[in-house]
Structure 1
């Protein structure tokens, strides 16, 4: 049996998702495990090893069937050398991830940023299937982004392309961002921004679903605001609408530069559905020339939390298929 399967890994700050993926981008088997952040880098490698053993136990595959392993990491990377320059949430600083995994598994390893991997997953077998020019946004605690041009991730000069969460959207009264600047998209339109907006609203309220939620739990989550908005609460709908408009205007500016076929929006906040997408699409069309907008559709992501591992596997798939083509030319 020729090697025919890829392993994709989505390394997150809270969990590690790993899967066997076939050459069409279908997930055959998956594993999930908590990320041992506090235990450090080498313990994460140990968990990787245990998870692959479990994957093989659950399936008919073994290492001789594996073409290679792709890994999505929430970090700034030297993508060519496979070095994680800085992964703040993991506490990693200049670790040779590619080299260490190749030594451990003796198969080809490719690493990339996790948001890039999610974008590639959606392009390969998700909401962006068939598109070659694509922007993917992941709306979670922060905002991740991936830009695909001609079917490949655009990394930029040092791997920083696609950091859309740090586009300045509020020049006057912007909130402080973890990056040290103010008014970043992440501070205005992420899950964190939803919570801050909701907490500001609660201050002046004596009653209502949002106030009841706060009194009952002592906190407010982005998830609860999204749920209340979907149930029709006007305050929560207003918060989500505002965020949709900010995103729509920002995406319009990006389209002047990139002119994508499709913009895919995923992450927990995207679950708000029409309440988010209707104002977002309206603001987008209000802010962009018809010529630029006419071939661009804005759609919700399809792969959910499996986008990252699918896209990580695509990294190997692309190398493998290019190597075959190169061999045929020779």
Structure 2
């Protein structure tokens, strides 16, 4: 009997669910709104009820279900314990035990960024490598590290917080984490916009960015691709900091490949090639010339990785 498993990606606004076979083929996917009532516990109940509904609807036998993998926005320890999931309004509890009691199925959980990295390693931009680092450049900068095919979670489940690597000791503005000079302040979508506005304020140089009412990271990269000098300077600076951070990461975990995801990754080759230049300029010789790939699973990376938690 062919086995299947469910992958669940719990987000602040939506819960995404995927049904997979053991070969990693996505058979079906769904999503529903995240409900934060019941001190956040309704999120898990809703997810469990949804899984049970689909099992009945699809006439799946219990012995054919390998289990349920879950990715959540916060650190998860090896035994399934989480200290807090502030974005979901949940405090200390064991998510694996909770979901197991609600579904009657095997459950494995992990941090959402680590789970997304596992998804890209398994079936996305990192496929074919055993050692991969994923950097997700969105509103913030997230990360996940895969070593020898397994997630590096750390003692508290909080490993991979690459967005808060210090890259600029001279920064005066404070990052959301409370530090100053974090990678996230320069390489996230919001960080790139902040850099662009700083460059526009500090320079009288003509730029097509000055004609854009609401500057975005996409508009910065688009203008840079069209040869806009100031936009190119912003891209160079953001990629400089990103390259430095990646060099630091490589000198600790020595991956075969870096995979870049998130909205900023849609910039494509201008991003990967510029980052690669600054990575190679700042890393030791033995670690030069790593593979730089773009993530390919998009918003589905989390459900793929959650499924892989069960199939690992």
- 8 A Cα contact 2:75 2:156, kept in partner: no
Q: Secondary structure at the match of 2:158?
A: coil
| Change beyond 3 A, Cα 1:236–1:54 | farther
Contact 1:229 1:272 in 2 (8 A): no
Q: Any residues of structure 2 matched to 1:203-282 within 5 Å, and which?
A: 203=201, 209-214=208-213, 219-230=214-225, 232-282=227-277
- With over 3 angstroms needed to count, the CA separation of the structure-2 counterparts of 1:292 and 1:207, relative to structure 1, is closer
Counterpart in 2 of 1:69?
68
Change (3 A) 1:220 1:86: farther
Aligned pairs, how many? 311
Match of 1:304 in 2: 298
Does the C-alpha gap of structure 1 residues 236 and 11 become closer, same or farther in structure 2, counting only changes over 3 Å?
Answer: farther
C-alpha distance in 1, partners of 2:38/2:217? Answer: 29
Contact kept, 8 Å, 2:40 with 2:90, in 1: the verdict is yes
What is the deviation of 1:116?
0.7
Match of 1:321 in 2: none
Q: Distance in 2 between matches of 1:40 and 1:207?
A: 52
Asked if 1 retains the 8 angstrom alpha-carbon contact of 2:142 and 2:162, the reply is yes
1:158 pairs, out of 156, 163, 182, with: 156
Structure 2: gaps spanning 5 or more residues = none
Alpha-carbon deviations, 1:73-94, whole Å to 9, x = none?
11022331x1221223222221
- CA change 1:39–1:232 in 2 (3 A) is farther
**Structure 1 unaligned spans of 5+:** 319-330
TM-score (norm 2): 0.90
1:31-80 CA-to-partner distances (Å, cap 9, x unmatched) read 12232347741231243145435645775646553210111111022331
After superposing the two structures, state which structure 1 stretch, 47-56 or 190-199, moved more.
47-56
User: How far apart in 1 are the matches of 2:188 and 2:207?
Assistant: 23
Q: What's 1:188 paired with?
A: 186
- TM-score, scaled relative to structure 1: 0.85
